[in-house]
């Protein structure tokens, strides 16, 4: 039946145009004001890292000016970054993040 074919066609079309959602990388940036301890705390509470992992991230940021925090869905990435940023601003830290899609 023509209607069914049309539907299948649109399904096919939809299927090819719908991409899998991309994951995104969250990157933390270094600055001269945010303290080491604060970064560690943020990593643990917002991004669920262990102390060891958090310390390593803080180190890397300090040395290399930026570090990879983790890979999340876009929504998660944005939400976590927003949360972390808000916490930082509350302490008057200019802590910054970047979100990049994984290609």
Binding site for another protein (CB under 8 A): 7, 10-11, 14-15, 18-22, 24, 45, 48, 73-76, 78-79, 82-83, 101
- Shortest distance in whole angstroms from residue 77 CB to another protein: 9
- Residue 53 burial (10 A CB sphere; 0-12, 13-18, 19+): middle
Select 12 or 63, whichever has its Cβ closest to another protein: 12
Residue 31 · residue 96 · CB < 8 Å:
yes
- Shortest distance in whole angstroms from residue 35 CB to another protein: 22
H-run or E-run covering 100: strand 96-101
Residue ranges of alpha helices (H) inside the chain are: 2-17, 36-45, 51-64, 74-90
Select 22 or 62, whichever has its Cβ closest to another protein: 22
- Shortest distance in whole angstroms from residue 63 CB to another protein: 27
Helix/strand/coil for 92: coil
Select 27 or 76, whichever has its Cβ closest to another protein: 76
- Shortest distance in whole angstroms from residue 84 CB to another protein: 12
């Amino acid at each position: 039946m023509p209607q069914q074919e049309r539907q299948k066609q649109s399904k096919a079309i939809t299927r090819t145009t719908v991409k899998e959602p991309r994951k995104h990388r969250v990157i933390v940036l270094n600055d001269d004001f945010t303290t080491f301890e604060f970064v560690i705390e943020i990593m643990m509470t917002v991004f669920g890292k262990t102390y060891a992992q958090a310390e390593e991230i803080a180190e890397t940021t300090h040395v290399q000016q930026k570090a990879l925090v983790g890979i999340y869905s876009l929504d998660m990435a944005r939400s976590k970054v927003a949360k972390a940023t808000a916490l930082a601003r509350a302490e008057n830290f200019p802590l910054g993040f970047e979100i990049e899609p994984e290609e």
